[in-house]
Amino acid sequence: MSELAPLTGEPLALDLVNTRQTAGDLLLTPADLRTWWALEADRVPGEVPQELTEADVAAVRAVREHTARALDHVRRGAEPSPADLEALNQAQRAAPAIDELTWNGSAVVTTRRRDGSPGRRLAAHLAEAAAGLLTDPAVTGIRECEADDCVMLFLPTHPRRRWCSATRCGNRIRVARHYRRHRTD
């Protein structure tokens, strides 16, 4: 991943969409995907694999693009493209989740598991997260950062929140505003 820092902590589907930044794409290579996956590891089942392929990156990027387009419509109350919804459904079908039953010595336990390549498993999990966000009534509250050079999306936890991050865009905007007010001409 480049020196660009991903925005994390939003719903997982928004974190994925936010890997498309004005300054560049954070998911260009298998190494980029592995780095982002490690940042999101607490929200994605399974271990972060050491070996990822270009096909894995392509599967995740496809989910990201379909999620971004569908979110753009749904958050404004408009109908998303059936092609985007079908693509998200297909991503989930490519690596369906099953509850695998095993005996642990004293009881039957379940482990949620997916088959397929690491990228297909991740893409399916992300498409599932997108489905959850797209069907959540809160989706209409998603906002775009108000900084002129930022395209990040966020789900505000406070009604007055204006920026994707107080430390990323908020401080930059406040400092610029301060310098404009106190500039000596």
> Confidence band (pLDDT; 50, 70, 90) for 1?
very low
Residue 32 has pLDDT above 70, yes or no: yes
Contacts of 113 (CB under 8 A, 6+ apart): 97, 98, 99, 100
Contacts of 96 (CB under 8 A, 6+ apart): 114, 115, 124
Mean pLDDT of 96-109: 94
Asked if residue 40 lies in contact with residue 12, where contact means CB atoms within 8 angstroms, the answer is yes
Q: Which long-range contacts (CB under 8 A, 24 or more apart) does 153-159 make?
A: 153/10, 153/14, 153/17, 153/18, 153/71, 154/7, 154/10, 154/14, 155/10, 155/11, 155/14
Residues of 80-110 as b/e, b for ≥16 C-beta within 10 angstroms? beeebbebbeebbebbeeeeeeeeeeeeeee
What structural domains does the chain harbor? 12-182 (1.10.3300.10)
Q: What is the pTM of this model?
A: 0.85
Identify the three-state secondary structure at position 29.
coil
> Confidence band (pLDDT; 50, 70, 90) for 2?
very low
Asked if residue 135 lies in contact with residue 148, where contact means CB atoms within 8 angstroms, the answer is no
Lowest mean pLDDT among 87-96, 107-116, 170-179: 170-179
> Which amino acid, residue 157?
T
> Confidence band (pLDDT; 50, 70, 90) for 185?
low
Alpha helix (H) residue ranges in the chain: 12-17, 30-39, 54-74, 82-94, 118-134, 171-182
Provide the percentage of residues in the chain whose pLDDT is more than 90: 67
Residue pLDDT, tens place only, 40-87: 999 998 899 999 999 999 999 999 999 999 999 999 999 999 999 999
- The confidence score (pLDDT) of residue 93 equals 95
- The confidence score (pLDDT) of residue 174 equals 67
Beta bridge partners of 102: 109
Residue pLDDT, tens place only, 128-154: 999 999 999 999 999 998 887 788 899
